[in-house]
């Protein structure tokens, strides 16, 4: 049957796909709109399969903190190129994902992608559809949550880096300012854990071996290597664990000291740093 411009435009309005893609879908489906929509979905899946291994170094990071300030969610929606990260369809998808996560109080990525939409299909299927429309890999790179007495969020100006920080023992103190300072510290200094107890054993072993090898290369006696390596490990903790880091705005204070100075006993109980790069 003849495919009219009106038919193509109608399918485009309903799916958001490009004019030529809609025309091809209607042609393949002999004008049947339902079959044409299915054709477009299959095209999206083909692109998803073809580009599955492609790098996604662009995108957008969004954060949301609950009205009572005790829980936060952060999501990174990634794509392949910067122009795609700026298009309304991509940004609207990121906002829809966050909105759905907040509405259903979702706690993990798998549950988020499984949420059913009004058409009965899961969010993952809608992401695949957009991949077919745009022609790039799109992926929920990260979805995380933080709960605490007070959660503070920070999104960097480039929109590709975000932080959630959970503060405990707030004791009724307004911690929004110090929370933002700590969130910005996390964004800039990339701590690997809250304190030394949070550093995984593999990292500790690696740092000890690096310390020993460095000392060995410097000609230090074998009997001294372990002691020297432990000293270097303590330096690693100071530079790479949040509570032991020097505060970037005032290096006379560690983050732990900054928090305790703000309110006795105030500390960070959890944080999430999410970056697309």
- Give the whole-angstrom CA distance, residue 74 versus residue 98: 8
Determine, yes or no, domain membership for 32.
Answer: yes
Q: State the alpha helices, DSSP H only, in 73-175.
A: 82-86, 88-103, 109-113, 123-134
Same domain membership, residue 142 and residue 58: yes
Read off the CATH number of the domain in which 36 is found.
1.10.8.10
pLDDT on residue 88:
93
pLDDT on residue 260:
96
- Give the whole-angstrom CA distance, residue 101 versus residue 68: 17
Determine, yes or no, domain membership for 271.
Answer: no
Determine, yes or no, domain membership for 212.
Answer: no
pLDDT on residue 230:
95
Same domain membership, residue 136 and residue 69: yes
Read off the CATH number of the domain in which 117 is found.
3.30.479.20
Boundary residue ending a domain (147, 167, 190): 147
Determine, yes or no, domain membership for 33.
Answer: yes
User: How far is the CA of 214 from the CAs of 7, 42, 86, 218, 245, in angstroms?
Assistant: 70, 55, 45, 6, 23
Determine, yes or no, domain membership for 26.
Answer: yes
Same domain membership, residue 124 and residue 41: no
Same domain membership, residue 65 and residue 124: yes
Strand 250-254 vs strand 161-168: parallel, antiparallel, or unpaired? unpaired
Looking at the chain, the number of H-run helices and the number of E-run strands are: 11, 8
pLDDT on residue 121:
86
Same domain membership, residue 43 and residue 58: no
pLDDT on residue 1:
65
Which pTM was predicted? 0.81
Same domain membership, residue 58 and residue 111: yes
Determine, yes or no, domain membership for 172.
Answer: no
Q: With both helix axes pointing from N to C terminus, report the angle between 5-15 and 33-50 in degrees, rounded to the nearest 10.
A: 60
Residues 6+ apart with CB under 8 A from 156: 61, 162, 187
- Give the whole-angstrom CA distance, residue 182 versus residue 20: 50
Phi-psi region of 178 (alpha: psi -120 to 50; beta: other; left: phi over 0): alpha
- Give the whole-angstrom CA distance, residue 56 versus residue 272: 20
Same domain membership, residue 114 and residue 41: no
Determine, yes or no, domain membership for 109.
Answer: yes
User: How far is the CA of 241 from the CAs of 128, 201, 204, 255, 276, in angstroms?
Assistant: 38, 14, 12, 10, 21
- Give the whole-angstrom CA distance, residue 162 versus residue 189: 13
pLDDT on residue 19:
79
Same domain membership, residue 108 and residue 66: yes
Give the residue ranges of the chain where pLDDT is below 70.
1
Determine, yes or no, domain membership for 45.
Answer: yes
Q: How many domains does the chain have?
A: 2
| SS3 category, 112 | helix
Scan for tokens 């290597």, then name that residue.
225
Same domain membership, residue 90 and residue 126: yes
Domain assignment of residue 133, given as a range: 54-147
């Amino acid at each position: 049957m003849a495919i009219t411009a009106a038919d193509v435009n109608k399918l485009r309005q309903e799916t958001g796909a490009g004019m030529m893609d809609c025309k091809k879908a209607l042609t393949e489906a002999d004008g049947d709109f339902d079959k044409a929509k299915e054709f477009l979905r299959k095209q999206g899946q083909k692109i998803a399969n073809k580009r599955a291994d492609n790098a996604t170094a662009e995108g957008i990071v969004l954060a949301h903190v609950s009205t009572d300030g005790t829980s936060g969610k952060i999501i990174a929606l990634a794509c392949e190129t910067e122009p795609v990260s700026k298009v309304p369809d991509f940004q609207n998808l990121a906002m829809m994902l966050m909105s759905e996560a907040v509405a259903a109080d979702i706690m993990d990525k798998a549950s988020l992608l499984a949420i059913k939409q009004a058409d009965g299909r899961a969010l993952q299927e809608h992401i695949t559809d957009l991949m077919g429309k745009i022609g790039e890999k799109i992926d929920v790179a990260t979805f995380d949550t933080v709960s605490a007495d007070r959660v503070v969020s920070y999104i960097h100006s480039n929109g590709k880096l975000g932080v959630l920080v959970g503060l405990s023992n707030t004791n009724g103190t307004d911690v929004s300012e110090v929370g933002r300072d700590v969130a910005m510290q996390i964004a800039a200094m990339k701590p690997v854990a809250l304190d030394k107890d949070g550093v995984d054993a593999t990292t500790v072993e690696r740092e000890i071996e690096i310390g020993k090898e460095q000392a060995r290369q410097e000609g230090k006696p074998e009997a001294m290597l372990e002691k020297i390596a432990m000293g270097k490990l303590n330096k690693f903790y100071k530079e790479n664990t949040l509570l032991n880091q020097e505060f970037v705005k005032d290096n006379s204070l560690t983050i732990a000291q900054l928090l305790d100075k703000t309110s006795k006993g105030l500390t960070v109980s959890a944080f999430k740093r999410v970056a697309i790069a």
